[in-house]
Chains A and B, each alone.
Chain A
Amino acid sequence: NAGVMQNPRHLVRRRGQEARLRCSPMKGHSHVYWYRQLPEEGLKFMVYLQKENIIDESGMPKERFSAEFPKEGPSILRIQQVVRGDSAAYFCASSPSGQVSFNTGELFFGEGSRLTVL
């Protein structure tokens, strides 16, 4: 039973290039969350998606960042025209139901994608 799969695990980009990070949720999960972890910081919520819908993007920077979760295929976090400050670990998590059920509260995390911007 595969867990949350993220790829690539490591990505190096030069300033101005685009970064695409992919996340396949656990089987049976239709809710995906993206978090960013900067060095010496906790995880910061970015966006919460269901299939074909963005539910909450209050943590997403207004420019250069976008996310989607199509009907078929993985969720994608896209960063355009990357800058050095985008260097971070990006974690995807999934849950079977929305808004992190009050009965379980658990999100299942992938191992992260580590973006380095040169």
Chain B
Amino acid sequence: AQSVTQLDSHVSVSEGTPVLLRCNYSSSYSPSLFWYVQHPNKGLQLLLKYTSAATLVKGINGFEAEFKKSETSFHLTKPSAHMSDAAEYFCVVRGSQGNLIFGKGTKLSVKP
């Protein structure tokens, strides 16, 4: 069965410093992985996706993620945090039935 584990429930960074949101996956086959972002009281928006092409995936708003099979990881990074990045981020893996399986989320706070 496919699953994802987000290692941190909360991450706090200062504006202008790097962001690292960690995610490990479990999959019996080559996974399709995604990061979604949810701003307060809003729906979810796709940040980026990995579907077995390049292992370094670039997304919107300066975010990127690297698929590392040896570490079963798909961590989300951004070189420099902006106040508008404060939100909740979900690591997601495609399930065998085609639906999306979500991690529990990481809340990112950005301090001025």
Contacts and interface: CB of A to CB of B under 8 A. Distances in A.
Nearest to B32: A105
Interface of A: 3-4, 33, 35, 40-45, 48, 56, 58-59, 91, 93, 98-100, 102-107, 109-112
Interface string B18-51: 0000000000000010101000011111100101
B97 A105 contact: no
Contacts of B36: 109
Contacts of B51: 102-103, 105
- Counting contact residues on chain B (CB < 8 A from A), the size range is 20 to 34
Contacts of B95: 45
Nearest to A47: B99
A107 to B, nearest CB: 6
A38 to B, nearest CB: 10
8 contacts: A43-B44, A59-B99, A91-B43, A99-B98, A100-B98, A107-B46, A109-B43, A111-B41
Contact of A100 (B9, B90, B99): B99
Interface of B: 6, 9, 32, 34, 36, 41-46, 49, 51, 90, 94-95, 97-105
- Of B9, B34, B51, B100, the most chain A CB neighbours within 10 A belong to B100
